[in-house]
Chains A and B, each alone.
Chain A
Amino acid sequence: MNRLNRRDFLKAVTIAAPALALHAPWAHASGKSRVVVVGGGFGGAVAAKYLKMLAPQLDITLVERNKVYVSCPLSNEVISGHGELKDLEIGYDGLQKRGVNVVFDEATAIDATKRTVTLKSGTTLAYDALVLSPGIDFNYAGVEGYTEELANTDLPHAYKAGPQTLMLKKQLEAMPDGGTFVIAVPPGPFRCPPGPYERASQVAAYLKGHGKTKSKVLILDANDSFSKKGLFEQAWKTHYGNMIEWVPGASDGKVVKIDPKTKTAYTNFGEHKADVLNVIPPHHAGSIAKQAGLTNEKGWCPVDMLTMESTVQKNVWVVGDSCVHGELPVYPMPKSAHAAVTQAKVAVGAILARLAGQPAPTPYFVNTCYSIAAPDWGFSVVHVYRVEGGKLIYAQEAGGISVIDTPAITTLRKLEAEYAVGWLKNIMADCFA
């Protein structure tokens, strides 16, 4: 702890001095510091809320394109009919009631020197601190033949929850028994690392529940392993026999091209005819981050591990799916809602400290991510990080996945399936209420 205090103290000296030397950002006309938050998903919403909660005097503006947010977590359960899209929807009135100025618009440019954000409508917002939580955008060119237009019409990726989720659900329902549901998984990192495999499980749950047991779920994967693999494989064997097949990248699993007319997925050496073709295109940080020059060569935003401040631009904090964060390269934080929320809370502490000319507080990062592989069959992965010697490290004595083999398996899996639902209610309230 002593070492930490000394580090914080040293940081206090180095941060406070230049902050005071510059034009004092909080000393403008209204006497209020202005924080702009771009992106009203889990990360952005919780940042806006906690900033207002901890510092009611601050002027907080949240910029978000859509009036209603749809949670990606638990949206695979909508595809299988085990959940409803309306339960995943939430508006911004909770934040507005708290005094957050919510602007339904789109950020089109960031000027980090002048500290302004320009919106599509033409409005320019000045900030003393900027939180960027733009989520992900897709690189459609990563799969030849796939386009954004196809995603919105015949071939939904459904990797942002909403209308595409319901389109994919309809396609699954229309698939005849004996059909093949193909899920093409992009190279990592992608949001919700267990997402594609949970989706395969939910599709199989639907097929089994509707007596379409001759059907097949084929996962064509660009990667050689996946999140919670042992748990998923156990669930698949227990509930679905051989219905789900996973083809890793090393076995020619990577989809490089599709033919949308025949719904054929092409790998380097093979082709797979699908009845439902669900291509999840490769991701990168939300376009605004890329455009503002905050991304690295891989398309993600590097940040200070302890504060979430961009290492490219001062006074810009990047949280959620768009950042790359954690004990790299082995234990990065997954791109999950839970990770985004803890990152945003750390950024809030760091921003308040910056505005006060103080060192950033000790950060706490955790991730808990549930997957539901069958009715009453859920499991999770936990990540915990802590600061040691001024560096963020993954706490190896903690974290990890749910126990795989245990005599208590029925109770354990039921508990975590139920917890997943309770978790979502709480995290949505933590961010939006």
Chain B
Amino acid sequence: MGSRIAMAVLLAGLGTWAHAADSIEALASTCNNCHGVNGVSVGPTMPSIGGLPQAYLTNVMLEWKSGTRFSATMGRLLKSYSDVQIADLAAYFAKQPWVPQAQKIDAARVRLGAQSLKRCEKCHGDDGLPRDGETPPVNGQWAGYLYLESLKYRDDAVGMSNRQMRGAMKKLSDEELRAVSDYYASQK
């Protein structure tokens, strides 16, 4: 009798684990390969996605899926997922904590970046942490990734749809873009 109860408890426990591996967690775990566990990236050219605003995540994924937003890789992945799966993924990653990544950045670079913030801080804040619930935070985001993103907005052949970002990125020099990327990356 006792062992049957013990077994039932064990079974129930294992059932919970099996369930944890099901549904959106299982799908989301395929994102970890590139974006890190729970969306916390440790690869300087890959963005952290855990804790980004749900609206932002939903929008960019749907735009990649429909092809209205340029992507190098993501569009080819998202075309196979339903809008419901995309919404669930966005909700899942939005719920994860936003974890700024400590990066080795020289203080002089941070000071230089602070001087070039004019075109960025209105939306992204001087601390990289917007509070409108839609603009992605960039504090502690990877500098490498932020700089690569700016290249997309500068290249008219890429044709990013956000005109404000295109305009702002083009008005900064390459050196300023690197400095601003470093500045935001250094924010905690």
Given A345-B30, A356-B17, are A423 and B43 also a contact pair (CB < 8 Å)? yes
Contacting A at CB under 8 A, from B35-85, are 35-37, 41-46, 70, 72-73, 76-80
B140 smallest CB distance to A (angstroms)? 16
Question: When A and B form their complex, what is the total count of cross-chain residue pairs whose Cβ atoms lie within 8 Å?
Answer: 174
Interface residue range, chain B: 35 or more
A419 touches B73 (CB 8 A): yes
B37 smallest CB distance to A (angstroms)? 6
Q: In this complex, what residue of B is CB-closest to A53?
A: B37
| A366 surroundings in chain B (CB, below 8 A) | 30, 33, 77
B158 within 8 A of partner (CB): yes
B14 touches A26 (CB 8 A): yes
B72 touches A412 (CB 8 A): yes
| A418 surroundings in chain B (CB, below 8 A) | 45, 144, 148
A425 smallest CB distance to B (angstroms)? 3
- The CA-CA distance from A355 to B17 in the complex, in Å, is 10
- Stretch in contact with the other chain, from A105-113, A149-157, A236-244, A379-387: A379-387
| A416 surroundings in chain B (CB, below 8 A) | 72-73
Given A352-B21, A415-B152, are A357 and B11 also a contact pair (CB < 8 Å)? yes
- Stretch in contact with the other chain, from B2-10, B91-99, B112-120, B172-180: B2-10
Interface centre among A355, A415, A424 (most CB of B within 10 A): A415
Given A358-B18, A361-B21, A411-B151, are A427 and B3 also a contact pair (CB < 8 Å)? no
Interface centre among A338, A341, A353, A414 (most CB of B within 10 A): A353
Contacting B at CB under 8 A, from A398-415, are 398-400, 402, 406-408, 410-412, 414-415
- The CA-CA distance from A271 to B4 in the complex, in Å, is 71
Q: In this complex, what residue of B is CB-closest to A407?
A: B157
A24 within 8 A of partner (CB): yes
A363 within 8 A of partner (CB): yes
Given A341-B33, A384-B80, are A422 and B26 also a contact pair (CB < 8 Å)? no
- The CA-CA distance from A348 to B10 in the complex, in Å, is 18
Count contacts on A: residues with CB < 8 A to the other chain.
60
- The CA-CA distance from A270 to B6 in the complex, in Å, is 70
B87 smallest CB distance to A (angstroms)? 15
A368 touches B80 (CB 8 A): no
B158 touches A411 (CB 8 A): yes
B122 smallest CB distance to A (angstroms)? 25
| A425 surroundings in chain B (CB, below 8 A) | 42-44, 46
A403 smallest CB distance to B (angstroms)? 9
In-complex Cβ contact of A368 among B20, B45, B77 (8 A): B77
B184 smallest CB distance to A (angstroms)? 17
B145 touches A415 (CB 8 A): no
B80 touches A426 (CB 8 A): no
- The CA-CA distance from A408 to B151 in the complex, in Å, is 11
B80 touches A386 (CB 8 A): yes
Given A406-B157, A418-B45, are A395 and B14 also a contact pair (CB < 8 Å)? no
- The CA-CA distance from A357 to B27 in the complex, in Å, is 22
| B144 surroundings in chain A (CB, below 8 A) | 418, 422
B44 smallest CB distance to A (angstroms)? 6
- The CA-CA distance from A50 to B38 in the complex, in Å, is 13
Q: In this complex, what residue of B is CB-closest to A55?
A: B17
B14 touches A352 (CB 8 A): yes
- The CA-CA distance from A358 to B12 in the complex, in Å, is 10
Given A356-B18, A382-B77, are A27 and B32 also a contact pair (CB < 8 Å)? no
- The CA-CA distance from A399 to B3 in the complex, in Å, is 50
B13 within 8 A of partner (CB): yes
Given A368-B33, A408-B158, A430-B33, are A422 and B72 also a contact pair (CB < 8 Å)? no
B23 within 8 A of partner (CB): yes
- The CA-CA distance from A384 to B73 in the complex, in Å, is 12
List the 6 closest pairs (A to B, CB-CB), nearest first: A422-B43, A356-B14, A422-B45, A349-B21, A398-B80, A425-B43
Name A's B-contacting residues (CB within 8 A).
24, 26-27, 31, 33, 50, 54-55, 57, 338, 341-342, 345-346, 348-349, 352-353, 355-358, 361-366, 368, 380, 382, 384, 386, 395, 397-400, 402, 406-408, 410-412, 414-416, 418-419, 421-427, 429-430, 433
What are 9 inter-chain pairs, A to B, with CB distance below 8 A? A27-B10, A50-B29, A342-B33, A361-B21, A362-B22, A362-B26, A384-B76, A395-B79, A422-B144
For the complex with contacts A361-B21, A422-B44, A426-B42, 7 further pairs of A-B residues with Cβ separation under 8 Å are A345-B30, A398-B79, A416-B72, A421-B43, A422-B41, A426-B46, A430-B36
